[in-house]
Amino acid sequence: MTDTPDFLRDGAGAPRFITVGDDGRAIAVRVTPGAATPEAPGVLWCGGFLSDMRGTKAEELAAWGARSGRQVVRFDYSGHGESAGDFERGTISRWAEEALAVFDRETTGPQIVVGSSMGGWIALLLARALAARGESARLVALVLIAPAPDFTEELMWKAMPEEVRAAILQDGRWVRPSQYGPGQPITRGLIEDGRRNLVLGAPFAVGCPVRILQGVADPDVPWQHALRLVTCLAEDDVVLTLIKDGDHRLSRPEDIERILAAVEEVG
């Protein structure tokens, strides 16, 4: 991991915004200019639940793009980071719609999509949306970091005590304590919309190589969850790398090196 270029440091420059959806959500986007060709595909970053594009992994990926002359596009979902919107109105469908809009309007040429945690689910939904439009050829590969597809159902709802489920159904929300900062509001809308976007129920294909990095010591997304995803991607070229002492963030220097190596290996 090397020094971050000045233009990527906190406070350097401002994002641009695109408007998404019928309600005109203002989505913040940052682009590292560079090539996006078959020989040097661009990269689209999809972050995690309650994370933002100024986090360590996203910044290091953008710095890599600056060093290597590769286009790197990153954005914040509505209600996250520098984007507008109320987080509690957020759903998987809305955030997937935003990712597709950024892909359509801000990227050019072939792309590698890098998805972290919830961003892994968003990346899979993006691949599905591109396939439905007959545009899978633009998707060179997926690099998924501690991917959490179906997390609202499999890792939240099914693990919640009955009284928490009752609170969500009756009150419409519940605030989950978080070791990473303020409590996380979990809404009934998020849970119910998540069920409309589940991907792990049956085998499916994304039509491109998939590289998965997963910490065995991850307290939020068990490594078995990543293995379940691998079994669903039966037709694709999939490599799962288990990092024995890796946590959920996978933001240590050695983790960043693994992520960048995975991106370089597929593109």
Token output for 170: 């009756």
Strand, helix or coil for residue 222: coil
Residue among 76, 117, 225, 255 flagged as catalytic: 117
The Cβ of residue 191 has, within 10 Å, a number of other Cβ atoms equal to 20
Residues in the chain: 267
Residue among 218, 220, 236, 255 flagged as catalytic: 218
At 129, give phi and psi (nearest 5°): -65, -40
Which residues, 6+ apart, have CB-to-CB distance to 162 below 8 Å?
none
Active site residue 225: no
Return the amino acid letter for 220: D
Strand, helix or coil for residue 127: helix
- Euclidean distance between CA atoms 240 and 229, whole angstroms: 10
**What is the maximal distance between C-alpha atoms in the chain?**
54
Of the candidates 73, 66, 84, the residue with the CA atom closest to the CA atom of residue 29: 73
Residue among 51, 76, 150, 248 flagged as catalytic: 248
Token output for 212: 């998965």
Active site residue 117: yes
Residue 4 is given by DSSP the state P
At 2, give phi and psi (nearest 5°): -115, 175
Of the candidates 125, 110, 118, 97, the residue with the CA atom closest to the CA atom of residue 24: 97
Strand order in the sheet with 72-75: 16-20, 25-32, 72-75, 42-46, 111-116, 139-145, 210-215, 238-243
Hey, which residues are catalytic here?
117, 218, 248
